[in-house]
Amino acid sequence: MLDDIDRRILTVLAGDARQSLKDLAARVGLSSPSTSERLKRLEERGVIRGFTLDIDPAALGYSLQALVRIRPLPGKLHVVQRLIEDLPEIVECDKVTGEDCFFARLHVRTIGDLDGILDRIADKAETNTAIVKAQPVRRRLLPLDR
């Protein structure tokens, strides 16, 4: 379970994971060594899995984002999964229940690039693609209530 201090640490880190230990400690009201120890315990318990970098795909020329539902053809599940894992444009993929087996988020520069990716999958799976117009809710911190 998380106590109030752990929740404050997570909330502050969610806002800026790059801040110094000294600044984090000041914001949560602990000494730097105490804060460091709590961070270590949160990592050891698997609460904090890592510290990441958030890059804007559009700034790198990936102006088109798509969500693709993927239903492998009979006997092709593992082949399709390996293909998905090997496509660098697919930045997230969930294996799901229901008619589709995979739900993938990908970024491409052009519709032609999207077609090329879908063509690589077409002989192994059925796909259904939606272009993302906006993302009103970005990945965010879960509620930290008890």
Q: pLDDT tens for residues 14-51?
A: 888 999 999 999 999 999 999 999 999 999 999 999 98
Closest alpha carbon to 25 in 36, 41, 16: 36
Predicted TM-score (pTM) of this structure:
0.81
pLDDT of 146 reads: 61
Instruction: Kindly give the confidence (pLDDT) of every residue in the chain, 146 residues in length, as a single tens digit, with 9 standing for 90 and above.
Output: 899 999 999 999 988 899 999 999 999 999 999 999 999 999 999 999 998 888 999 999 999 999 999 999 999 999 999 999 999 999 999 999 998 999 999 999 999 999 999 999 999 999 999 999 999 998 888 888 76
The CA-based angle 98-100-106, given to 5 degrees, is: 135
Identify the pLDDT of residue 38: 96
- The CATH architecture to which 4-44 belongs is Orthogonal Bundle (1.10)
Strand partners, 105: 67, 92
* Span 57-131 CATH architecture: 2-Layer Sandwich (3.30)
Rounded CA-CA distance 64/113 in Å is 10
The pair of structure tokens assigned to 124 is: 């192994």
- Give the residue among 3, 1, 16 at the shortest CA–CA distance from 141: 16
Domain map of the chain by residue range? Answer: 4-44, 57-131
